[in-house]
Chains A and B, each alone.
Chain A
Amino acid sequence: MSVLTGTYFSQGDIACAEGAIASGCRFFAGYPITPATEIAEHMARRLPEVGGAYIQMEDELASMAAIIGASYAGIKSMTATSGPGFSLMVENIGLAVMTEAPCVVVNVMRGGPSTGTPTSTGQQDVMQAKWGPHGDCEIIALAPASVQEMFDFTVEAFNLSETYRVPAIVLADETVGHLRERFIIPESSFLKIRERKKKQHDLSSDFQEPELVPPMACFGEGFKVFATGLTHDSQGRPDTRSDAHSVLVTRLCEKIRKNSDRIAHVKQIYMEDAKVAVVSYGSVSRSALEAVKMARKEGMKAGLLKLDVLWPFPERQVEDVASSVSRIVVPEMNCGQILREVQRVAGISKVVFLPKVGEHVHTPFEILDAVRS
């Protein structure tokens, strides 16, 4: 019932919802917004079937608050939105970071700023996913490029958020959200599902420095757990001494940064002897792959570095690529976001930017031109 093993032909949004259900998500709170509405609608159909609950909240602020509440009540929870809704959720994403509440936020990106292009695609919220909340926040963000990845990366998002007690963002774009493709839901025995480490009543699970991820105490388990958005000590008590804040924020950042190698993965295609690399993510990487294949046919040594994870940024992999190629092309459906991370790691002079802010994904020819020149 919860893992509908089989082969399907459906939208990315649907695959994402099925990935959530297969991961054990049993609470969804959301608000309709193009192009993520189908996720909410499918969760509304499926959650009652698996004994979960769907609630349509009055706005995205409430949706994000509600999924943190459900997470603290011990249930895997998710919301889905697009750019304008994500902007509203940003404050409470900060609350989820500060209170270490595992949860998944899907942002099916459209064109912005503001109301922008509700029914068209974009990749303009990439930096916001990381820097949206005030304060220093480290989150995890994945960028699916196919309907299959909408399923797979949603499962991974749940696993990562449970493992690291951090909000995990599925940063899709409208193209992959509304695209219809074949995708496979595997047997449940093939799915690796991770649960948060729970606090035990004996002292065995007590949090010790220098561990980075504390076991989680949830409501109703007899722990009288207290969590606050205020800065706090290791017992969760508000603490305004300056070293408590430093200790806490450092740990929250290191929790992700020190595990970056385990979290940030990429796909390398035709990269072994490449002299020009295309670094891309999301729907654009589909055109990029085609462009790289065409370039190879023309005799160019081109390769594709597809970023599966955007945050934490795969610095090591990009650095490795930068040391062996003479040029990096970054095609993005925005005015330069992941571009800046690539430039930071590879150096500005090596990186060529190919923006496209306008309602469509780059064509393979557009990327091929940039690879050639």
Chain B
Amino acid sequence: MIPHIWCEGCGNGIILNCFIKAVQESDLDTNKLVVVSGIGCIGRISGYINSDGFHTTHGRAIAFATGAKIANPSLDVVVISGDGDLFAIGGNHFIHAARRNLDIKVICSNNFNYGMTGGQSGPTTPLEAWTMTTPYGNIERPFNLVHLASASGAVYVARWTVMHVTRLINSIKRTLQKKGFTFIEVVSPCPELFGRYNRMGDASEMLRWLSESSEIHHGYDTSMADIGLRQKLILGEFVDIEKPEYSDLLNAANLRVRETLAKQERPTLVKLEG
């Protein structure tokens, strides 16, 4: 499936590279790795990785991943998708998976628009930005993804840009060995569409903007870490905590059920006499 479909200067290629590097440098059995992606430019990524993969319908990557992970907990399930797929149409699935603390790793390529369909606005489009569906400037306040993830219950939350390659690889490695719902937001340039529409220069100028506007503050209060075109871009590892993970809880509960069943007199379904 190579050559890929991404534009020159797209950040998705860097995300692909960082992910592969992180997997190679981790102790992962790639026979157990499943990459699930949704619809969008970044959604093509599962087809470019030599592992089990699934390309779902729009917004449903996390729901699909939930089924796969619970059915076979030995799988390492990673969801890589875009800002619209994960937080507009897929928003409900994101918050519930985080709430459950399911052991799936989510990586979001946030390029501030819907690239595949030509550059329309999305839930992370900054205020006043020009897109194909906000031709008079965006009036909607965008989501603060790291705050949303943290508030929903994710046990690891980080934000990097495609300029922060080493830190991104290390974050991905951290999530691959951590149990629970993890979230990494990767701020990524879309020079062909969002960048061009908002006169942000070519790919290298967009990358320079990412580099120069960002500041790393680990442990920063995520509620203050929202993104705007003319403000500092706060990066770092914001959340890294431990909480009981869903499959562990499920298995413990099921074990208790079977132990009780062995002792109980009344079966779940009562037979007819005679």
Give chain A's interface residues, CB within 8 Å of chain B: 4, 6-10, 14, 18, 26-27, 29, 45-49, 51, 53, 55, 57-59, 61-63, 65-75, 77, 91-92, 94-95, 99, 182, 219-230, 237-238
Q: Which residues of B contact A237 (CB under 8 A)?
A: 1, 47
Which A residues touch B54, using CB under 8 A? 69, 72, 99, 226-228
Chain B nearest CB from A116 CB (Å) reads 24
Q: Which residues of A contact B70 (CB under 8 A)?
A: 27, 53, 55, 66, 70
CB distance from B164 to the nearest CB of A (A): 29
Taking CB atoms, residues of chain A closer than 8 Å to B258 are: 48-49, 51
State A186–B47 Cα separation when bound (angstroms): 45
A9: chain B residues at CB < 8 Å are: 272
CB contact list, B55-74 vs A, under 8 A: 55-57, 59-60, 63-72, 74
Least Cβ distance of A111 to chain B in Å? 27
Asked whether B34 is an interface residue with its Cβ less than 8 Å from the other chain, the reply is yes
Q: A62-B60, A65-B60, A95-B57 are contacts. A225–B267 as well, Cβ < 8 Å? A: no
B271 CB within 8 Å of chain A:
yes
Q: How far is the CA of A50 from the CA of B82 in the complex (A)?
A: 38
Known A8-B269, A220-B52; 4 more pairs at CB < 8 Å = A53-B71, A69-B63, A226-B46, A228-B46
**Most chain A CB neighbours (cut-off 10 Å) among B51, B56, B267:** B56
Most buried by A among B65, B250, B257, B267: B257
Could you tell me if B68 and A53 are in contact, using CB atoms closer than 8 angstroms? no
Which listed residue (A45, A67, A222, A223) contacts B67, Cβ 8 A? A67
- The contact of B57 among A57, A77, A91, by CB within 8 Å, is A91
Contact B269–A77 (Cβ < 8 Å): no
Which of B63, B71, B270 has the most chain A CB within a 10 Å cutoff? B71
Interface flags, B35-49, vs A, CB<8A=1, else 0: 010000000101100
Contact status B52-A66, CB under 8 Å: no
With most chain B CB atoms within 10 A of its CB, the pick from A65, A66, A237 is: A65
Is residue B268 contacting chain A, with contact meaning CB distance below 8 A? yes
A226 cross-chain contacts in B, Cβ below 8 A: 46-47, 52-55
What would 11 A/B residue contacts be, using CB atoms closer than 8 Å?
A9-B272, A48-B254, A51-B258, A61-B59, A65-B60, A73-B67, A74-B72, A224-B50, A227-B54, A230-B55, A238-B55
A62 — which chain B residues lie within 8 A by C-beta?
A: 60, 63, 66, 92-93, 96
